[in-house]
Structure 1
Amino acid sequence: MSNPSLAPSRYQMRNSVQKAENTVIAKGAVVTSGKVIAEQTFGFWTSLFENHHFRLVGGAPLNSFPLKPAAVNRSVMATKLNEIGLFRNRVYHNEPICFLNNRIDFAHVQRIIQTIYDLLSWIEPDLVTYVNYFDNINSKIAAGMTL
Structure 2
Amino acid sequence: MRAYVDRCGGDADAALALYRWNAAASGAYWETLSHLEVVLRNVLAEQLAARHAAMGRAGTWLDDPAGELDQRARADIREARRRVVAKGKQPADGQTISELSFGFWRFMLARRYNTVLWPSLAGGFPYAPDRARTTIDAPVTRLHLFRNRLAHHERIWTEPLTARYEDILGLLHHVEPRIVEWVRQECRVPLLLNSCPIARPHP
Confirm or deny a common fold (TM above 0.5).
yes
Shift of 1:57: 2.1
Number of matched residues? 135
Aligned residue in 2 for 1:38: 98
Counterparts in 2 of 1:42 and 1:111: CA distance versus 1, 3 Å: same
Residues 58, 86 of structure 1: alpha-carbon distance in 2 compared, 3 angstrom cutoff: closer
Q: CA shift at 1:98, angstroms? A: 1.8
TM value normalised by structure 2 = 0.60
Contact 2:118/2:133 (8 A) holds in 1: no
Are residues 64 and 145 of structure 1, via their aligned partners in 2, closer, same or farther at CA, if it must alter by over 3 Å? farther
Determine the structure 2 residue equivalent to 1:123: 175
Matched, 1:144 2:192: no
For the residue of structure 1 that corresponds to 2:126, the secondary structure is coil
Closer/same/farther in 2, CA of residues 57 and 88 from structure 1, 3 Å limit: same
Secondary structure, aligned partner of 2:127: coil
The equivalences for 1:36-75 within 5 A come to: 36-70=96-130, 73-75=132-134
Match of 1:87 in 2: 146
Structure 1 residues 73, 32: CA separation in 2 closer, same or farther (over 3 Å shift)? same
2-side partners of 1:36 and 1:58: how far apart?
21
| Greater RCO (CA < 8 Å, at least 6 residues apart) | 2
Structure 2 regions of 5+ residues with no counterpart?
1-63
Provide the residue aligned with 2:165 in structure 1. 113
Aligned to 1:134: 186
Residues 100-122 of structure 1: per-residue CA shift (max 9 Å, x gap) = xxxxxx7x100110111011011
CA drift of 1:58 comes to: 4.9
Structure 1: give runs of 5+ residues left out of the alignment: 100-105
Instruction: Tell me the SS of whatever aligns to 2:194.
Output: helix
Name the SS for the 2:196 alignment partner: helix
**What TM-score comes out, normalization by structure 1 length?**
0.81
| Rounded Cα–Cα distance in structure 1 between residues aligned with 2:157 and 2:96 | 35
1:104-143 Cα deviation digits (max 9, x unpaired): xx7x100110111011011111211211122101111111
Over the aligned positions, Cα root-mean-square deviation in angstroms equals 2.1
Structure with greater Cα Rg: 2
> 4+ runs of 1 displaced by more than 3 Å?
1-5
